[in-house]
Amino acid sequence: MTVYVLSPENDQPSGGIKILYRHADVLNRCGMDAAVLHQKSGFRCTWFENDTRVAYLPDVRITEDDFLVVPEIYGPNIAALGGMPGIGRKLRKVIFNQNCRYTFLGQALDTVLQKNFSLPYTQTSEFAGAMVVSEDSKQYLEYTFPGLDVWRIHNAINVERFGFSADKKKQICFMPRKHAEDALQVLAILQLRGALGDFSVVPIEGENEAGVARILKESMFFLSFGYPEGCPLPPAEAMASGCLVVGYHGFGGREYFDPAFSWPVDVGDITGFAEQVERLIRLSYEQPESLAAAARVASDFVRNKYSPQQEQQDICSFWTRMHGL
C-alpha cells in the first residue's frame, strides 16, 4: 500500500501545501510508504525546506491497493479524479479537509438545491473517510455528512524554529494575505488616534519560514486577520514565539484562542479590534509583567497542544486503521 498525497503546483507560501508535504513525511517516518503527488513532472515546492518524497502522475500507476489523499480545495472535481490517467477508478480515497468552509468550493446554487445533489464525502468503497485539522471542522463535517468517518489531526508547530522569545521590540506584525482591507482599517484607526506611539508595524509577506520565525520572535504583538480557517497555524506559531495574539480565530482557531492568554475579536469588528490593540499597547507600558506572563502561558499551551509528537500519533493511528480496511 502506498499513500499518495495529491498537492497543487503552487510554489508560493501556503500553509496548507506545507502540511500536505509534512503528512507524507510523517507517514514515511511511521514505516509506511507515502509520497506527495504532483501532476506536473519535476515540480517541487521550494519556498520551505523539505526532502519529501515526490511522485509525478505521468510516471506512476496507482492501484486499488493504494490510497489517494485529496485536499478539499478540489471541490466538485474530487469524484472525477478516478478517471484521470494513472489513477484507477476504484482507487480508495481519503479527503483531507483543512478548511471545512471550502467544502462546497466551486458548487453553484442551482446545483446544490437539486434533490439528487451529493458530494463524495459519504462513505463508499471508494471514499474511506475524511481527515480534518480542528474540532470545528470535525463537527461541521459530521453534521453535514451523517455517518462519515471523520478523523482529527493536530497539525504541528515547528517548535524548534518557532521557539519562545521574551526579547521583544516594540513591534506589531501581521500577515496581509487574508483580509488586508481589515488590517488597513485597524492600523489606520490606531495611527489616527495616535495609539501606535513608538511601536513599528511589520507586514509579513514574501518571507520563507525562517524569515517568518525571525519576525515573530522579535514582535510583541501579532494581529490575526484570517477567516475562514480550518485551524490557523500562523497565530499559533506567533504564540509559540512569545507574541501576544489579537484578532480573528477564524472558527478553526477557537480551540486555542483562550481569552486567558489571547484577545479574540469577532470577524469584521474593526473598532473592537482597534480598541483591543490600543488597550494592549497601553498595558505594555503599564503592566509589562502581566503581558509577559500571558505570552509564556500561551507559548506553553500551543507548543504542547500542537506538538510534532501529537501530530505523528494522530496521523499514524489513522493510517494504521486505513491499512486494515
Q: Is residue 235 part of a domain?
A: yes
Judgement on whether residues 77 and 193 belong to the same structural domain of the protein: no
Domain residue limits at 11? 2-156+308-323
Judgement on whether residues 265 and 234 belong to the same structural domain of the protein: yes
Judgement on whether residues 245 and 143 belong to the same structural domain of the protein: no
Distance CA 89, CA 172 (A): 51
Judgement on whether residues 238 and 277 belong to the same structural domain of the protein: yes
> Can you give the pLDDT at residue 189?
98
Q: Is 181 exposed, middle or buried (0-12, 13-18, 19+ CB in 10 A)?
A: exposed
Residue range 184-193: mean pLDDT, rounded: 98
Domain count, the chain: 2
Judgement on whether residues 140 and 175 belong to the same structural domain of the protein: no
What is the residue-averaged pLDDT of the chain? 92
CB 8 within 8 A of CB 40: no
Say how many Å lie between the first and final Cα of the chain, rounded. Answer: 11
The pLDDT-based confidence of 88 (bands split at 50, 70, 90) is low
Nearest CA to 133 out of 94, 99, 93 is that of: 99
Stretch among 12-16, 159-163, 228-232 having the lowest mean pLDDT: 12-16
212: domain CATH number is 3.40.50.2000
